[in-house]
């Protein structure tokens, strides 16, 4: 806790928490406190994103962070919105309170925010059939994105969902020739 209060050391502490993953459950309250700090400078935005990735690494045990992460979904920064959605998805069904805000983010112009939000919704509501009907076309469209991270995440999401991933097999085969190793290796 003291290390997270030290502005010079806390980036290293957050990286360590990310590596510890589920074993770092006790770090959730101080991480939530860090999320409440304003993120105006680029350095602060990047740090807040890393805090949210640490919460994602903790997974379902980070359920106490859901209200703060829902708050991050309305940030002016796309990277904060996307990393919050990613963390909420890793928390899973315990993040159900985030569903309305995640649905709102599906209308955002940033493709990474939209993709992170649809993936989070699929992880929070795994059996929701109406959601699958919305997600499948979004993920198929994301396979053609100009952004390699978006293509790679869409490949991963489709691979996790055999119910609509099968429809993507022709497009997925084409991505075996993608110029990005990040996409090909998924």
Using pLDDT thresholds of 50, 70 and 90, give the confidence band for residue 22. very high
**Residue 185, Cβ neighbours under 10 Å: how many?**
9
Residue 1 has pLDDT above 70, yes or no: no
CA distance 33 to 25: 14
Please report which confidence band the pLDDT of residue 165 belongs to, taking 50, 70 and 90 as the band edges. low
3-class secondary structure, 73: coil
Instruction: Count other C-beta atoms under 10 Å from residue 89's C-beta.
Output: 23
The mean pLDDT value of the chain amounts to 91
What is residue 98's predicted lDDT score, i.e. its pLDDT? 98
The whole-number average pLDDT for the span 119-144 is 89
**pLDDT attached to residue 55:** 97
Average pLDDT over residues 136-147: 88
- Average pLDDT of 61-79? 96
pLDDT of residue 70: 98
Phi-psi region of 39 (alpha: psi -120 to 50; beta: other; left: phi over 0): beta
Confidence bin at 5 (pLDDT 50/70/90): confident
pTM of this structure: 0.87
Residues 76-89, mean pLDDT to the nearest whole number:
95
> Is residue 163's pLDDT more than 80?
no
Residue 104 has phi, psi (to 5 degrees) of -60, -40
The burial of 121, by beta-carbon neighbours within 10 Å (0-12 exposed, 13-18 middle, 19 or more buried), is given as buried
Three-state DSSP at 86 gives helix
Number of H helices, E strands in the chain: 13, 0
């Amino acid at each position: 806790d003291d290390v997270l209060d030290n502005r010079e050391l806390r980036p290293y502490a957050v990286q360590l928490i990310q590596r510890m993953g589920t074993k770092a459950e006790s770090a959730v309250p101080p991480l939530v406190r860090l999320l409440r700090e304003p993120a105006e400078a680029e350095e602060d935005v990047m740090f807040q994103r890393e805090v949210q990735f640490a919460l994602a690494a903790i997974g379902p045990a980070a359920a106490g962070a859901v209200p703060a992460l829902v708050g991050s979904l309305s940030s002016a920064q796309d990277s904060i919105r996307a990393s919050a959605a990613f963390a909420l998805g890793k928390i899973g069904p315990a993040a159900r309170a985030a569903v309305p805000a995640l649905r709102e983010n599906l209308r955002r112009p940033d493709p990474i925010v939209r993709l992170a939000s649809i993936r989070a919704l699929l992880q929070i509501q795994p059996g929701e059939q109406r959601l699958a009907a919305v997600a499948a076309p979004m993920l198929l469209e994301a396979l053609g994105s100009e952004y390699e991270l978006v293509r790679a995440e869409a490949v991963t999401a489709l691979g996790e969902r055999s119910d609509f991933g099968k429809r993507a097999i022709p497009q997925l085969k084409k991505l075996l020739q993608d110029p990005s190793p990040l996409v090909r290796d998924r």
